[in-house]
Amino acid sequence: MNQVNFKTQKTARYFTLGSLNKKTKNIWIVSHGYAQLANHFLNWFEALNSDHNFIVAPEALHRFYWKGFDGKVVASWMTKEDRLVDISDYVNYLDEVTKSVLARANSNVNIHVLGFSQGGSTVCRWVTQSKLKFTSLTLWAGAFPEDIDYLKKENCLINSIYIW
Protein backbone atom coordinates (compact mmCIF):
# COMPACT_ATOMS: atom_id res chain seq x y z
CA MET A 1 0.00 0.00 0.00
CA ASN A 2 1.27 3.50 -0.88
CA GLN A 3 0.15 6.73 0.70
CA VAL A 4 -0.30 9.69 -1.64
CA ASN A 5 -0.72 13.21 -0.25
CA PHE A 6 -1.99 16.02 -2.44
CA LYS A 7 -3.19 19.55 -1.78
CA THR A 8 -6.84 20.44 -2.18
CA GLN A 9 -8.93 23.40 -1.17
CA LYS A 10 -10.83 23.30 2.10
CA THR A 11 -13.24 25.90 3.34
CA ALA A 12 -12.26 27.03 6.83
CA ARG A 13 -13.90 29.49 9.17
CA TYR A 14 -12.91 32.05 11.73
CA PHE A 15 -14.88 34.33 14.03
CA THR A 16 -14.24 37.94 14.97
CA LEU A 17 -15.10 40.25 17.82
CA GLY A 18 -15.07 44.02 17.48
CA SER A 19 -14.67 46.24 14.45
CA LEU A 20 -11.61 46.59 12.31
CA ASN A 21 -11.39 50.35 11.72
CA LYS A 22 -9.02 53.33 11.74
CA LYS A 23 -8.95 53.29 15.57
CA THR A 24 -7.82 49.66 15.73
CA LYS A 25 -4.37 49.46 17.34
CA ASN A 26 -4.28 45.75 18.18
CA ILE A 27 -5.26 42.62 16.32
CA TRP A 28 -5.48 39.56 18.54
CA ILE A 29 -5.22 36.15 16.87
CA VAL A 30 -6.54 33.68 19.47
CA SER A 31 -6.23 29.93 19.07
CA HIS A 32 -8.58 27.59 20.96
CA GLY A 33 -7.63 24.31 22.59
CA TYR A 34 -8.45 20.69 21.85
CA ALA A 35 -12.17 19.83 21.63
CA GLN A 36 -13.31 23.45 21.49
CA LEU A 37 -14.87 25.61 18.78
CA ALA A 38 -13.65 29.09 17.90
CA ASN A 39 -16.99 30.85 18.36
CA HIS A 40 -17.33 29.58 21.95
CA PHE A 41 -13.67 30.33 22.72
CA LEU A 42 -14.11 33.91 21.51
CA ASN A 43 -16.49 34.61 24.41
CA TRP A 44 -13.46 34.66 26.76
CA PHE A 45 -12.21 37.80 25.01
CA GLU A 46 -15.27 40.00 25.44
CA ALA A 47 -13.31 42.20 27.88
CA LEU A 48 -10.91 43.14 25.05
CA ASN A 49 -13.77 44.27 22.81
CA SER A 50 -13.13 47.98 22.18
CA ASP A 51 -12.43 50.38 19.33
CA HIS A 52 -8.71 49.64 19.75
CA ASN A 53 -8.87 45.82 19.64
CA PHE A 54 -10.03 43.43 16.94
CA ILE A 55 -10.08 39.77 17.95
CA VAL A 56 -9.84 36.94 15.42
CA ALA A 57 -10.48 33.32 16.39
CA PRO A 58 -9.57 30.86 13.63
CA GLU A 59 -11.13 27.45 14.05
CA ALA A 60 -9.04 24.27 13.86
CA LEU A 61 -9.45 22.44 10.58
CA HIS A 62 -10.51 19.09 12.04
CA ARG A 63 -14.05 19.03 13.44
CA PHE A 64 -15.46 15.86 14.98
CA TYR A 65 -18.24 14.61 17.24
CA TRP A 66 -17.49 14.55 20.94
CA LYS A 67 -18.94 11.36 22.51
CA GLY A 68 -20.77 9.89 19.53
CA PHE A 69 -22.85 11.21 16.67
CA ASP A 70 -25.35 12.93 18.93
CA GLY A 71 -22.64 14.68 20.93
CA LYS A 72 -21.51 18.23 20.40
CA VAL A 73 -19.17 19.10 17.55
CA VAL A 74 -15.64 20.14 18.53
CA ALA A 75 -12.37 20.72 16.72
CA SER A 76 -8.70 19.79 16.91
CA TRP A 77 -5.62 21.36 15.35
CA MET A 78 -3.88 18.04 14.73
CA THR A 79 -3.36 14.46 15.79
CA LYS A 80 -0.36 12.15 15.51
CA GLU A 81 -1.70 10.80 12.19
CA ASP A 82 0.00 12.66 9.32
CA ARG A 83 1.13 15.19 11.90
CA LEU A 84 3.66 17.13 9.80
CA VAL A 85 1.12 17.62 7.01
CA ASP A 86 -1.44 18.94 9.52
CA ILE A 87 1.14 21.34 10.96
CA SER A 88 2.02 22.64 7.50
CA ASP A 89 -1.67 23.06 6.67
CA TYR A 90 -2.52 25.02 9.80
CA VAL A 91 0.59 27.21 9.52
CA ASN A 92 -0.50 28.18 5.99
CA TYR A 93 -4.10 28.63 7.14
CA LEU A 94 -3.15 30.93 10.05
CA ASP A 95 -0.89 32.96 7.75
CA GLU A 96 -3.70 33.34 5.21
CA VAL A 97 -6.25 34.40 7.85
CA THR A 98 -3.84 36.94 9.32
CA LYS A 99 -2.80 38.37 5.95
CA SER A 100 -6.46 38.70 4.98
CA VAL A 101 -7.20 40.68 8.14
CA LEU A 102 -4.03 42.79 7.83
CA ALA A 103 -5.00 43.79 4.29
CA ARG A 104 -7.87 45.78 5.85
CA ALA A 105 -5.94 47.17 8.84
CA ASN A 106 -3.70 50.15 9.56
CA SER A 107 -0.08 49.53 8.60
CA ASN A 108 1.13 50.16 12.17
CA VAL A 109 -1.26 47.75 13.94
CA ASN A 110 0.13 45.39 16.59
CA ILE A 111 -0.41 41.65 16.12
CA HIS A 112 -0.85 39.76 19.38
CA VAL A 113 -1.04 35.96 19.30
CA LEU A 114 -2.59 33.91 22.09
CA GLY A 115 -2.88 30.13 22.25
CA PHE A 116 -4.84 28.12 24.79
CA SER A 117 -3.79 24.54 25.57
CA GLN A 118 -3.37 22.70 22.21
CA GLY A 119 -3.71 26.11 20.58
CA GLY A 120 -0.55 27.17 22.44
CA SER A 121 1.58 24.58 20.67
CA THR A 122 -0.19 25.45 17.45
CA VAL A 123 0.69 29.14 17.62
CA CYS A 124 4.27 28.41 18.70
CA ARG A 125 4.78 26.36 15.56
CA TRP A 126 3.04 29.01 13.49
CA VAL A 127 5.01 32.03 14.70
CA THR A 128 8.34 30.20 14.30
CA GLN A 129 7.51 29.28 10.68
CA SER A 130 5.74 32.46 9.58
CA LYS A 131 7.38 35.47 7.93
CA LEU A 132 4.92 37.80 9.68
CA LYS A 133 6.09 40.04 12.52
CA PHE A 134 4.26 39.59 15.82
CA THR A 135 4.11 41.99 18.76
CA SER A 136 3.51 39.38 21.43
CA LEU A 137 2.93 35.69 22.02
CA THR A 138 0.90 34.50 25.00
CA LEU A 139 0.54 30.87 26.04
CA TRP A 140 -2.47 30.19 28.26
CA ALA A 141 -2.40 26.74 29.90
CA GLY A 142 0.00 25.66 27.18
CA ALA A 143 3.68 25.09 26.65
CA PHE A 144 6.37 25.43 24.03
CA PRO A 145 6.32 22.24 21.94
CA GLU A 146 9.45 20.13 22.21
CA ASP A 147 9.72 19.60 18.45
CA ILE A 148 10.94 23.13 17.71
CA ASP A 149 14.61 24.11 17.89
CA TYR A 150 14.08 27.68 19.03
CA LEU A 151 17.77 28.57 18.77
CA LYS A 152 17.62 28.06 15.00
CA LYS A 153 14.55 30.26 14.51
CA GLU A 154 16.24 33.53 13.62
CA ASN A 155 13.25 34.62 11.53
CA CYS A 156 10.86 34.36 14.48
CA LEU A 157 9.88 37.98 14.99
CA ILE A 158 8.22 38.38 18.40
CA ASN A 159 8.75 41.32 20.73
CA SER A 160 7.30 39.76 23.93
CA ILE A 161 6.37 36.30 25.20
CA TYR A 162 3.96 35.66 28.09
CA ILE A 163 3.06 32.36 29.74
CA TRP A 164 0.05 31.97 32.04
Domains of the chain, residue spans? 14-163
> Which tens digits make up the pLDDT trace of 54-99?
999 999 999 999 988 888 999 999 999 999 999 999 999 999 999 9
96 three-state secondary structure:
helix
CATH T-level fold of 14-163: Rossmann fold (3.40.50)
Own/partner pairs for 101-106, CB < 8 Å, 24+ apart?
A: 101/20, 101/27, 101/54, 101/56, 102/27, 104/20, 105/20, 105/24, 105/27, 105/54, 106/22, 106/24, 106/25
What is the C-alpha to C-alpha distance for residues 83 and 52, in angstroms, rounded to an integer? 37
How far apart are the C-alpha atoms of 39 and 17, rounded to whole Å?
A: 10
Nearest to 115 by CA among 41, 32, 48, 55: 32
Query: Per residue of the chain (164 residues), what is the pLDDT tens digit?
Result: 999 999 999 999 999 999 999 999 999 999 999 999 999 999 999 999 889 999 999 999 999 999 888 889 999 999 999 999 999 999 999 999 999 999 999 999 999 999 999 999 999 999 999 999 999 999 999 888 988 877 665 556 666 666 66
